[in-house]
Structure 1
Amino acid sequence: MELVRNGDAEEVEMEASRASSPVREARIHHTSFPGAVRQKAYHFDGLGNCFTKEWDLSEGYGKEFCWYHVELPKGNQKLALSAQYLIDVFCPPLKLQDILALVSNGPFCGYVDGALVFRVNSAGPATSKFTHRLAARVTENCVITVSLGRVPRLGFKRMEKSLLYEIPRVENPNSIYDEIKGRSNLTVVPESRLESESSVTVIKEHVLEFLLTMNHSEEADNPVPRSVSNLIVHIVDTHMDQLQDIVTTLELELDAVELELDK
């Protein structure tokens, strides 16, 4: 009979305990899919000011709160791959139950680990431009959202960077204006006209057509939320605008098909 010393017995018990329990890696963030998703992070001071911040998944304090948003690619990937993308950017601190609540199919609304989680998914493949998906995880001082593809007017940026606040001129190579501008080295142009034209922003025709089909303005018009509830209203509102854009696009395509059938 072989005797086991106390030290050896303790070591055997520790090995058995490690073997019977799930393996936990050190809390070091590893990026397995760099650049696979688009990420946005904002910090709100609760007084009407907004700042971009690093992706540290920290929460705010007092009136301050944070928002972290992920755009999943509109590719033909499996749902499990989308879950891996979210695990890559959200874990830690999120747990597996949080990831499943954010990325699973079908509608959902409830509490998961002390946070309010709601999810809205439309039927259809992720590659379709008519497929719409939104999920959010809300706590007292932090909001995490996940969307399929880009959502127009969702983020925030400075007013002076908005195209809506520029003096526009649509690019048209056949216009008389462009012909005159091309011969500007032979034509005397008044200095006042040069100064006014220097503040003009040239936009392409397809950009103008896109803006006309939108039922909303761009990010610069967004009022900065002062509370988490205001932020949730903004997120839902922009997704409703996106749904309206999808309906408008569908109507335009149906009209085009109808015209082709009438020929």
Structure 2
Amino acid sequence: MKPLLLGMALLGGISSGGAVLVPSPAQVDFGDQATGATSDPMPTTFRNTGNQAVTVTAVSAVTLAAFVRAGGTCGEPPFTVAPQASCTIEHTFTPYLVQAYCGYAHLTLAGGGRVDFGLAGEGNVAYLDIWPPSLSYFPVDVGTSSEGQTINLSNLRPVGMTVSHMYLDGPDASAFVRTGGTCPTQVPFYWGASSSCTLTYRFVPDHVGSHSASMNILGSGSFGFSLSGDGAPETPLFGDGFEAVAPTP
């Protein structure tokens, strides 16, 4: 829960004669939002709890540019709220840094006075926890395949991200073949908040000696893991190092 910036006077609204205009909630909390992404609009409802109409002559901008008015039923000022009636003003939230945001705005009433209301949210970014941090394969004969190994990738944050690229890189990338896992196979794709998926690879060496590659995942940041293994000489079928030759008919 974000801290309320406004005093208790806000909670009771502003009285103007027989009209009392009360904001609800006193502070809209957008919660966690991915940096650079715009939230869905959220409303503040202004109810006239009195017995006389109240006219609003101006609506201020929010003190932080991360919050932008995005509609609502109140319309553009001047507008009037009838006794026991209400209308809404909606805002969106677009954080640009990983931090807490708290802002406020106000309505200016005809005849003097104003009604303050607050908005709050948290800028956040997705982060992938990768386990194990690398895949390492026992030596495998050239031209044959290892058993599959699986790596787990978990987004630990309460916001998601769009993965724009996910690819193997390196001189031996073709030796590591994906054979399964729950992660999508096509990019771009959306990686949800607090979610996880898996990747399974086999090692199929194409030459004797060491092989290496790296997985690159680009989204809210750059993430990845390494893959390595050794290609062993192909094992002959007979002790003299030669395979049997089929007899000539």
TM-score by length of 1: 0.22
Q: Going by fraction, where is helix more abundant, 1 or 2?
A: 1
Q: Going by fraction, where is strand more abundant, 1 or 2?
A: 2
TM-score by length of 2: 0.23
Larger radius of gyration: 2
